[in-house]
Amino acid sequence: MNAITLLRTIALLLALTLGFAAPALAQIADAELSPLVDALAPGNFKDREAAIGILAATGDPRVVPVLEILLEGELYVDEASGKVVFTAASGGKGTISDPVTGAELQSLTEDGLDKVKVNNGLRRVLRTAIGQMTLLSEDPDTRLFAAQSILRDADPAQLELLDSAISAETDANIQRVMQQARAAIILKTPDAAIEDWQAAIPVVQAIGGRDALNTLTTALNTAPDTVKPLIQTAIDGLARDRAVWDVAQNIWFGISLGSVLLLAAIGLAITFGVMGVINMAHGEMVMLGAYTTFVVQEIIRQNFPGLFDWSLAIALPLAFLVTGLIGIAIERGIIRFLYGRPLETLLATWGISLIIQQAVQRIFSANIREVGNPTWMSGSFELGGLAITWNRFYIVIFAMLVFVALLLVLKYTAIGLHMRAVTQNRRMASAMGIRTPLVDALTFGLGSGIAGLAGVALSQIGNVSPNLGQGYIIDSFMVVVFGGVGNLWGTLVGALTLGIANKFIEPYAGAVLGKIIILVLIILFIQRRPRGLFAPKGRSIEA
């Protein structure tokens, strides 16, 4: 037994030297490789270590998955034949398969299998071996991936391996990652040379981000005294960068929240501006828009799964139509009888909101419904130090599009002109031949329709439930009160200001207290500007 171990150790050493000399050995024959893999099973941990070394020395790409599976502790051996195999758990194709050829071994059953055991010492050996095989692999992607994983773990044991890989590396990009990994490792070895430290610190700083900051902070404790000031400067620099990115992140979150508020509030602002009434059922229109999306997705899922990515494009006009028509129905059926009594209108629309909520609850149940994201809206992308999710990004774009479209409608269409006229002076507009009842109905429909669009957008960032609208309605009121009515720009500025202010107060005061502070600030703000930021000027208000 001992003799075998000794022999294998020698073989391992030889193999390792060879491995470094000739990084990529040619692929060897199955018949030769199989016994080497089988050698992983018998003996003690020391024997296994030697077997791993021999396997690694082959440089055969098929060895890497075997070692990785072994590292996870999911490699099995057939007790009778001594053959090492993959099982379903270890990612083999059949239930039990040959690790080298990948062929299914139907003669074997799971009962006869035994786990190939690993301990911590062996795991380290395995990681080194895998790192060596992948770092020196012929495939650049594999090498890059290996370098990144070393950068993450920064295991000092892999320093030598990394050095040889760096010298062999031809791709500049991969070499840079390897250098960064090397620097991270250096920062973990207190007895490294001072020059190495000095060279490593700027490299790590250049990586940037929270991980680099952590690495440097840990290194600060173990580093030689001479380089400590250097590390401190690097940390300060990184912290400054971080602070800047944090501010940017907050602004982005604020814009994202603000655009949601804008979508929810802008319809409210139009109806309030033109008709002087507050639509308490506005939140329910948002909710109906979200449920329209849900229904569209359900139908698509059951009948035309291929169209799923188009579900939003179908839901948007539908939601606009559904909520817009309901809005017109409410205006024609109830609100027009309450003309000139804004407080009664508020109560009546509140009653409508209760009825709609309860009806939706009866139809769709009170449970939360999940609306899926199309593929182009899921995931996120990096912008500098910012992680931006696609759905939030598209909602911001969408909110701006809706805003611009509305602006154009108000400015360049006949109905827009009429709406502005009625906002400024209802009786004069009527005297000039504008049919104010029609304008009222269309305004209410338009406002509700936009709420429906907001619902489609909101379904993409949260769950859909019958009280979805309630969560946004008070915030939307605040936007309208803050921004003033009769001017879309007021709503835009109001929504973005509230969104950003919310996100900036949140880290210091918490979400709930932040909201309270905002509400109190708005109540105080009303003192200065009782009609909001962009109040219409002139005598029309008191008329």
Partner 1 sequence: MITQALFRALDRKAIWIVAILLAVAILVPMSNLLLPDGHPLRLPNYAVPLFGKYLTFAMLALALDLVWGYCGILSLGHGAFFAIGGYAMGMYLMRQIGTRGVYANPILPDFMVFLNWKELPWYWMGMDNFWFAMLMVVVVPGLLAFVFGFLAFRSRVTGVYLSIITQAMTYALLLAFFRNDMGFGGNNGLTDFKDILGQPVQAGSTRAALFAASAIALALAVLACSMIVNSKLGKVMVAVRDAESRTRFLGYRVEYVKLFAFVVSAIIAGIAGALYVPQVGIINPSEFDPANSIEVVIWTAVGGRGTIIGPIIGGILVNVGKSYFTGAFPEYWLFALGALFVVTTLFLPKGIVGLIGQYRAATTKREQHDRGAPTPQQVEAGTDPQPKPAE
Interface residue with partner 1, options 31, 524, 537, 539 (CB under 8 A): 524
- Taking residues 302 to 341 in sequence order and writing x for each that binds partner 1 by CB under 8 A, - otherwise, the string is --------------------------------x--xx-xx
The tokens for 132 are 């060596």
Shortest distance in whole angstroms from residue 538 CB to partner 1: 16
Separation CA 325–CA 79 (nearest Å): 73
194 binds partner 1 (CB under 8 A): no
Shortest distance in whole angstroms from residue 522 CB to partner 1: 7
Q: With respect to partner 1, which residue has the nearer C-beta, 56 or 478? A: 478
Q: With respect to partner 1, which residue has the nearer C-beta, 3 or 528? A: 528
Separation CA 442–CA 450 (nearest Å): 12
Interface residue with partner 1, options 346, 407, 417, 461 (CB under 8 A): 346
Interface residue with partner 1, options 157, 244, 347, 401 (CB under 8 A): 347
CA distances for 297 relative to 231, 314, 319, 365, angstroms: 54, 9, 12, 17
Q: With respect to partner 1, which residue has the nearer C-beta, 215 or 353? A: 353
Shortest distance in whole angstroms from residue 401 CB to partner 1: 28
397 binds partner 1 (CB under 8 A): no
Q: With respect to partner 1, which residue has the nearer C-beta, 507 or 530? A: 530
348 binds partner 1 (CB under 8 A): yes
The stretch among 92-100, 148-156, 195-203, 524-532 that binds partner 1 (CB under 8 A) is 524-532
The stretch among 79-87, 236-244, 394-402, 518-526 that binds partner 1 (CB under 8 A) is 518-526
At 334, which amino acid appears?
Answer: I
Ranges within 255-294 binding partner 1 (CB under 8 A): 272, 276-278
CB 345 within 8 A of CB 278: yes
Q: With respect to partner 1, which residue has the nearer C-beta, 182 or 503? A: 503
Residue 463, Cβ neighbours under 10 Å: how many? 14
Ranges within 462-491 binding partner 1 (CB under 8 A): 474, 477-478, 480-481
Q: Helix or strand or coil: residue 62?
A: coil
The tokens for 440 are 């009222």
Q: Find residue 71's DSSP bridge partners.
A: none
363 binds partner 1 (CB under 8 A): no
Identify the H or E element spanning 514: helix 511-528
Q: With respect to partner 1, which residue has the nearer C-beta, 202 or 342? A: 342
CB 353 within 8 A of CB 362: no
Interface residue with partner 1, options 103, 247, 299, 343 (CB under 8 A): 343
**Pairing, β 84-87 against β 113-115:** unpaired
- Sheet containing 113-115: give its strands across: 96-97, 84-87, 76-78, 113-115
Separation CA 258–CA 403 (nearest Å): 13
Shortest distance in whole angstroms from residue 77 CB to partner 1: 55
As to burial, measured by CB atoms within 10 angstroms (0-12 exposed, 13-18 middle, 19+ buried), residue 200 is buried
427 binds partner 1 (CB under 8 A): no
Angle at 214 between CA 212 and CA 219, to 5 degrees: 95
Q: What is the DSSP letter of 487?
A: -
The tokens for 69 are 């599976």
Q: With respect to partner 1, which residue has the nearer C-beta, 33 or 352? A: 352
Query: Rule CB under 8 A: which residues touch partner 1?
Result: 272, 276-278, 334, 337-338, 340-348, 350-355, 357-359, 362, 474, 477-478, 480-481, 512-513, 515-516, 519-520, 522-524, 526-528, 530-531, 542
